[in-house]
Amino acid sequence: MATKIGFIGLGTMGRPMALNALRAGYAVRVYNRTESKMEALMAAGAEGASSYKDAAVGAGMIITMLSDSPDVREVILGPNGALSGCAQGSVIVDMSTISPSVAVEIAETCRGRGVEFLDAPVTGGESGAIGGTLSILVGGTPETLDAARDVLGAMGSKITYMGPSGSGQSAKLCNQVICVLNILAVCEGLALAQSAGIDGETLLEAVDGGAAGSWMLNNLAPKMLAEDWAPGFRIVLQQKDLRLALEFAAQRRLPLFGAGLAQQLFRAAEASGWGDEGTQALIKTVRKTE
């Protein structure tokens, strides 16, 4: 078990994940480009690092939680990246959502320098990150996952091995396709109820636990009804995941009709200035097109 963790990326998801690692008793060294985001973790007992490389020095495991493929590649493989600070035998775990091919590239580069790599994207949103109940989808070797399982268990309640490097990211893109279509379904159902004069909260009580029940219905529908657009997961990040999923499908000549439609609707939301709002704000686009 790694006794010291380097954690890079303290955004909406990364900050509570790093905090849960601290609470589990691990020594955590954090780094974020916006230094102010390090303050809460340092107040809770984390050590502050001065760079990506510095966060990795002396750590048995380095965790990254970032926005997109270019960020992860730069943070890990860049000239002052985490890999340059890693000792042989250490493990880098990227928990971002990125391109599967980039995950494979990073894994091969890491292993060429004696460092193991897992792509381990998560699902469960901000509430799951705070509660330590994330579902973690892992690509890499089973042996590396076994070595990392205790640390991952501090952040998630379900850890699933998906296959070799890149498989965790591939599975996450499948998850995101399912998620966006669920979000769209909730938006359309609530918009239809509103247009029919049906009380939204009464509708939720009626369908909860039935065939229409879902995580999105339970977690996002109440926010839609309350017109609470605060982000648990921002529209711009959902769009990034959809782009990756559609690119991944295009490489396989697989049409994703629903995901393509969802991407255009989210793009309309971005065009309306709602890109930094939560994905539940998609209902504003649906209502606009009634």
CATH number, domain of 194, equals 1.10.1040.10
Supply the residues annotated as catalytic.
172
pLDDT per position as a tens digit, 145-166: 999 999 999 999 999 999 999 9
Where does a domain end: 96, 129, 164? 164
| pLDDT(235) > 70 | yes
| pLDDT(26) > 50 | yes
- In this structure, are 150 and 188 located in the same domain? no
The total number of structural domains in the chain stands at: 2
Task: Show the beta-strand stretches assigned E in the chain.
Answer: 4-8, 27-31, 47-48, 61-64, 91-94, 116-119, 122-123, 134-139, 156-163
- In this structure, are 183 and 215 located in the same domain? yes
Average pLDDT over residues 234-239: 96
φ, ψ of residue 200 to 5 degrees: the values are -65, -40
pLDDT per position as a tens digit, 114-125: 999 999 999 998
Task: Tell which residue, 16, 9, 69, 81, has the closest CA to residue 44.
Answer: 16
| pLDDT(208) > 60 | yes
Say if pTM beats, i.e. exceeds, 0.95. Answer: no
- In this structure, are 187 and 208 located in the same domain? yes
CA 104, distance to chain mean position in Å, is: 18
- In this structure, are 193 and 284 located in the same domain? yes
**What is the pLDDT, as a whole number, of residue 3?**
72
- In this structure, are 214 and 158 located in the same domain? no
Q: Give me the torsion for CA of 225, 227, 231, 235, rounded to 10°.
A: 90
| pLDDT(290) > 60 | no
Average pLDDT over residues 75-95: 97
Where does a domain end: 135, 164, 193? 164
| pLDDT(142) > 50 | yes
- In this structure, are 188 and 129 located in the same domain? no
Q: Which residues contact 38 (CB under 8 A, 6 or more apart)?
A: 10, 30, 31, 32, 46, 48
Where does a domain end: 164, 194, 221? 164
Mean pLDDT of the chain: 96
pLDDT per position as a tens digit, 217-228: 999 999 999 999
pLDDT band at 289 (very low <50, low <70, confident <90, very high): low
Average pLDDT over residues 240-246: 97
- In this structure, are 27 and 106 located in the same domain? yes
Kindly state the tokens that stand for 64: 């990254």
- In this structure, are 186 and 46 located in the same domain? no
What CATH number does the domain containing 65 carry? Answer: 3.40.50.720
* Helix (H) or strand (E) run with residue 125 in it: helix 125-131
pLDDT per position as a tens digit, 28-48: 999 999 999 999 999 999 999
Helix (H, G, I), strand (E, B) or coil at 63: strand
Q: What percent of the chain has pLDDT over 90?
A: 97
Q: What is the DSSP letter of 192?
A: H
- In this structure, are 201 and 278 located in the same domain? yes
- In this structure, are 179 and 241 located in the same domain? yes
**What is the pLDDT, as a whole number, of residue 1?**
44
Residue 234: give the domain boundaries: 170-288
User: By CB neighbour count within 10 A (0-12 exposed, 13-18 middle, 19+ buried), where does 13 fall?
Assistant: buried
